[in-house]
Amino acid sequence: MVDTLKTVIDDCGTATVTLMRADVHNAFNDDLIWELNTAFSDLGKNDCVRAIVLTGSGKSFSAGADLNWMKAAARYTPEQNMRDAMRLSEMLNTVNNCPKPTLAIVNGAAIGGGVGLVACCDMAIAVENAKFALSEVRLGLTPATISPYVIAAIGARAARRYFLTAERFNAAEARRIGLVSETAPSLQEAFSLAHVFLKNLSAGAPSAHSDAKALIAAVADKDITDDLRTKTAKHIAERRASADGIEGVTAFLEKRKPSWDAKS
C-alpha cells in the first residue's frame, strides 16, 4: 500500500498529519480513510502528543471522495456499499472524537468530504484563497456521512443553503458561518497563526483538554435539566480533586507555571 499520509511529531508534542495524495487533490480512497482512522486513533492514545495539526499537500486540502473510488463502490452489493460507507463514517468519528486538541490548516480547496474533515477538527485556520463547497447534490448524492459534523459546525440554517445550492464559498464566508476559526493571507502565515493556537493549548492540562472535549459532547444542544446540572457539578468536583486540578490551582496560587507548561 502506498503511504497516503505523513505524520511528524515535534519536540513540543505537536503531531502534524499531512494528506499526501496531492495528484488527486487529497481525495479520499480506501487507503487514505484507513490511514486517517489509524493515525488519529494512535495519536489520541499517545501520551507524548499534546495536539494534532491536519493539513494537505499540494494545492488542495481535500477534494472529498475520490470519484473513481465512488464509481467502483456504486457496483458493490448493498452490503458491501454499506460497509464501505461505514468505514468513512468511522474515520470521521475517530477524528471528531480524538481526545487531543485538533487543528486543521486548510491550505487550499476543501470540497465535500474535505469540508467534513475540517468540521471534525476542534479549530481550523484557512488561507484566504481557499474555496469550500458541499457539492454532493450536483452528483446526485447527499453529504450524508459528514452531515452530523458539518451541521454541528455551521448550523442547520447555513446547511440548508450550502447542502442544497452546492455553491462555492470563500474562507471569509467559512469563518462567518463557523466552519473555520481564523483566516490567514498565506500558508506560511496560517502556520504562524497555528503556533499561537498551539502556544495557548500548551498552557492547558492534557487531561483537562480531553475532559473538556467530552464535556462539550455531553452538554451541546442538551436541555438544562436537573440531571444535566448534576452531571456537570460532578464533573467539576472530580476535576478539582484530580492530580492536574490540584497542580493547576496550586501553581496559580504559587505564581508559577504548572508542570505541563514548564517547557513553554
pLDDT in tens, 141-150: 999 999 999 9
- How much is the pLDDT for 261? 84
User: Which CATH topology does 205-261 take?
Assistant: Lyase 2-enoyl-coa Hydratase; Chain  A, domain 2 (1.10.12)
Q: Where in the chain is the domain with CATH 3.90.226.10?
A: 5-201
> Residue 156 pLDDT more than 60?
yes
CA–CA separation, 26 and 2 (whole Å): 13
- How much is the pLDDT for 187? 97
Q: Which residues are catalytic?
A: 136
Better-predicted residue by pLDDT, 69 or 193: 193
> Residue 252 pLDDT more than 80?
yes
Among the listed residues 161, 164, 187, the one whose alpha carbon sits nearest the alpha carbon of residue 174: 161
Query: Whole-prediction pTM value?
Result: 0.94
SS3 content of the chain, % helix, strand, coil (to 5): 55, 15, 30
What value does the mean pLDDT take over residues 100-125?
A: 98
- How much is the pLDDT for 2? 63
> Residue 264 pLDDT more than 60?
no
pLDDT-derived band at 61, boundaries 50, 70, 90 = very high
What value does the mean pLDDT take over residues 251-255?
A: 93
Q: Where in the chain is the domain with CATH 1.10.12.10?
A: 205-261
C-alpha to C-alpha distances, 125 to 92, 178, 238, nearest whole angstrom: 19, 11, 33
Q: Are 37 and 91 in contact (CB under 8 A)?
A: yes
What value does the mean pLDDT take over residues 168-196?
A: 98
pLDDT-derived band at 216, boundaries 50, 70, 90 = very high
CATH class of the domain whose range is 5-201: alpha beta
Amino acid identity of residue 187, one-letter, is L
Q: Are 119 and 152 in contact (CB under 8 A)?
A: yes
Share of the chain above pLDDT 90, in %: 88
Query: Using only C-alpha atoms, what is the Rg of the chain?
Result: 19
- How much is the pLDDT for 263? 60
What value does the mean pLDDT take over residues 172-182?
A: 98
- How much is the pLDDT for 122? 98
- How much is the pLDDT for 67? 80
- How much is the pLDDT for 51? 98
CA–CA separation, 21 and 27 (whole Å): 7
> Which sign does the torsion angle of CA 58, 59, 62, 67 carry?
negative
* Mean pLDDT taken over the chain: 94
Measured at the CA of 158, the angle between CA 157 and CA 159, to 5 degrees, comes to 90
What value does the mean pLDDT take over residues 217-235?
A: 94
Q: Enumerate residues 6+ apart whose C-beta is below 8 A from 262.
A: none
What value does the mean pLDDT take over residues 13-39?
A: 95
